[in-house]
Structures are given as C-alpha cells and as structure tokens.
Amino acid sequence: MIVSVVSMPEGTVARTHVSEARERLATSRFLLVDIELPEEASPDEQPVAHQLGLEAEDLTWLGREGESVRAEFLGDSAGFVVPVVEAGRITHVHAFVTERYLVAAHRGPIGPIGSLVARLPHERPSDTVATLFLLLEEALGTFRRSAVQALLEVEDLEDEMFQQRHPQQVLRLTRLRRRAALLHHSLLPYLEATDETITRRMMSGTFPEERQRLARSYQRAARSVLADIASLQDASRRAFGSYSSLVAGEQNGVINRLAIVSTIFLPLSFLTGFFGMNFTYMTDELESRVVFWLLAVGLQAIVLFIALYVLHRTRLWRKLRDEGPDEQ
C-alpha cells in the first residue's frame, strides 16, 4: 500500500505511512489522502476504512475489489466509485469526501490521480467538494481521450480502406467498435447515478451556489463525453458500412465481367454444340469445305458482332471500362 497525503490548498505532496495519514485525517481541516492498493487483493487485507480510522462511517465498499459504480450522499459526506480508463482497460477510483478531507483509493497507479495532484497548486480548490469535482472531471477526461483517439483511428482506417482494402481492416474495426461499446457501457450507468444524485442534492435547497455551479459544469462535461462516445459508435458503424459497400462494388464488377463473357461466349457455345450434333442432314450437307468455313467462321463472326453491339447499347462495356483500380 502506498499512501500519499496532499496538504491543501498548497498542494504539497508527501509519501507517508498509513498511521500518520490516520492521525492527520483526525486533525486536519483540508486534506487529500490517496491510497494506492496492490493490484491483487490479498485474503488478509484489512479494509481501508479500518486502517484510516474511519470505522464510524459505513465504508465497507471503500477500496474493495469488484465494487460497482456508486454515487451517493451520506448526510454530510458522499461516496463515489468512479470508472476511469487506464492503459486501455476500465478500472475504478473509490472516493469518500467530507467537509474536511477527501480519501481516494484505487488498485495500482491511476493517471487521473497524478493529473489531479499536478493541477492542485494551480487550481487551488476552495474545499474538499471542489477537489472532488476536479477528480470527477479528470476521470471523465480519460473517457474523452480514449474516445477521441479511437475516433481518429476509425477515420484513418476508413481512408485507408478506400485506398487499399484488406481483411485485417475488419479485425481492427471490430476492436474499435468493441472499445466504443465498452466505454459506453462503463460510463452510462455511472453518469445516470451521478446525475440523479447531484440533481436531488441541488433540489434540496441546502446546496451552496458555488457547488451548484461546479455540479452543472460537471454535468455539461459528462454529456459532452457521452456525445463523443456516441460519435465513436456512429463512426465505427459507418466504417463497417463503407467496407461492405466496397465489397459489394467489387462483387458488382465481377458480375459485370461475367455478364460480358456470357454475352459473348454463350451464343458461340450454342453454335458449337448445335453444329456438333450427328444428324444426317448435318453430315450430308456440310461435306463442302466452303460451306463449313462459312458456317464455322461466318456465323460466329456475326454472333460476335451482335454481342458487342448489344454490350455497347446497354453500356455494360463502358461501365466496365470506367471501373479502374483507382475507383475500387
């Protein structure tokens, strides 16, 4: 366990032992405590609330592995389980805030915590609730960055498909679409919970105006991130549609070529089969070499001329000629 204590509002960070963090939580007026737990929970691991001396609060969920998203006010305190995107996977930050301190617990290193600590000397939040909203915004930022990066990958992949199509692009599109679904399914329940909780708190009449402003700003940012994820989902579906259209266009080209070949060679095959029959009339009348060449070459030349004329009139030939490699 790695314990970091941030003195507020200066934003001074100090690595310390859990016992010292426990003492400072009991006496400090404005404190941020970050608890980095091992990535794998051990069977004899004590609850974080017990180690920090917060047994009086109902905090059995704080730092517990496998907790679902949470956003609830507990009288003068509040508890949140916030999803974040870390190294391409979804993890969670557990946050408990009172008027005097903010405790954040998570498994392994988390980027938003480092970003939050770096922002504190510049932002200088007025209280722990303002610090909490900064943490929530940092968590939203991980979803926005992941969605925007994936969206740019989809756009580049779509441009690449129009230049040269290959099956590997389908696999990449599938992974990007799965990432969009993962972001949406991870963020939406959390946003619904926070929106309901914050709205109910704002309607109580005891929520200060400054905190209402922070809450409204957070809700706008949340809707914007959700719109970015929706744009990623739409772009991935459009890219799959583009790929299908390209495949259908190539298949149409193949069908056009087969139609031209059939138009030319089917009548010739018919003539060959017809005059290859062993009827008495055929064998008696085609003994002359002149008649043979007239029928063998003349009829086929006439049929070929008619076939080419039909192709020209139906514009199949022109359409096939216009389909060059650049257009595919």
Task: Return the sign of the alpha-carbon dihedral for residues 38, 41, 42, 47.
Answer: positive
Q: How far, in Å, CA of 20 to CA of 234, rounded?
A: 50
Strand ranges of the sheet holding 12-16, from the earlier edge strand across to the other edge = 12-16, 2-7, 31-37, 101-107, 89-97, 77-86, 70-74
What integer pLDDT is reported at residue 58 of this predicted model?
A: 77
- What per-residue string of b and e applies to 18-49 under the rule 16 or more CB within 10 Å gives b? beebbebbeebebbbbbbbbeeeeeeeeeebb
Residues 146, 141: Cα–Cα separation, whole Å: 8
* Whether the Cβ atoms of residue 72 and residue 196 lie closer than 8 Å to each other: no
For residue 199, give Cα distances in angstroms to 33, 81, 83, 194. 27, 18, 20, 8
| Cα separation, 121 vs 113, whole angstroms | 14
DSSP symbols for 145-211: HHHHHHHHHHHHHHHHHHH---THHHHHHHHHHHHHHHHHHHHHHHHHHHHHHHHHHHTTS-S-HHH
The answer to whether 229 and 143 have CB atoms below 8 angstroms apart is yes
Q: What is the value of pTM for the model shown?
A: 0.76
Backbone angles phi, psi at 186, to 5 degrees: -85, -35
Contact 69, 81 (CB under 8 A): yes
Tens-of-pLDDT digits for all 328 residues of the chain? 888 888 887 778 888 898 888 888 888 888 999 999 888 877 777 888 888 888 766 788 888 888 889 888 877 888 999 999 988 899 999 999 988 899 999 988 888 888 988 888 888 888 898 999 999 999 999 999 999 999 999 888 888 877 777 878 888 888 888 999 999 999 999 999 998 888 888 777 677 888 889 889 999 999 999 999 999 999 888 887 777 777 766 777 777 777 777 767 777 777 777 767 776 666 666 666 677 677 767 777 787 788 777 767 766 555 555 555 444 4
Residue with tokens 């290959």: 166
What kind and span of H or E run contains 52? none
CA 217 to chain centre: 24
d(CA 208, CA 42): 42
147 HSE (CA, 13 A, CB side): 26
pLDDT of residue 47: 84
- Asked whether the beta carbons of 253 and 201 are under 8 A apart, the reply is no
Reported residue count of the chain is 328
User: How far is residue 168's CA from residue 157's CA, in Å, rounded to a whole number?
Assistant: 11
